[in-house]
Amino acid sequence: REACEARGCIWCSSDVPNAPWCFFPEDNPYGYARSGSVEKTDRGWRATLNKRQALTLFGNDISPVVLEVEFQTKDRLRFRLYDPNKQRFEVPLKISSPGVTAEEANYEVEF
């Protein structure tokens, strides 16, 4: 509990199985926020994310980061986060994608 609250998190014990007891408040300074508008692509959307503040939990944070969302099938969504300024290793996995539109998907994506 002490370590949780020292990070600025909220501690709330629970009897619910697998529920987190330590979590970030809604206005936490960590993480990323969308920068600019969301761009529509041939297969989904693309958005740029920037770190909210200089605070870090794990170190070596990348900013900006690009989020690509791809509607692959009616039941499968792919999202990819990558560094737009430096090429990094990505698992060379080929996934066939017929590509569907947001209107055809059995799920919703909101920004």
58 shares its domain with 14: no
pLDDT, tens digit (0-9, with 9 covering 90-100), for 86-101? 999 988 988 887 778 7
Number of domains in the chain: 2
Residue located via tokens 């990323």 = 32
* Residue-number span of the structural domain to which 23 is assigned: 1-29
CB contact at 8 A, 4 and 21: yes
Residue range 64-89, pLDDT digits in tens: 999 999 999 889 999 999 999 999 99
**DSSP secondary structure letter of residue 57:** S
Report the predicted TM-score, pTM, of the whole model to 2 decimal places: 0.74
- 8 and 48, same structural domain? no
CA dihedral 93, 50, 70, 90 (to 10 degrees): -10
Q: Give the model's pLDDT for residue 104.
A: 84
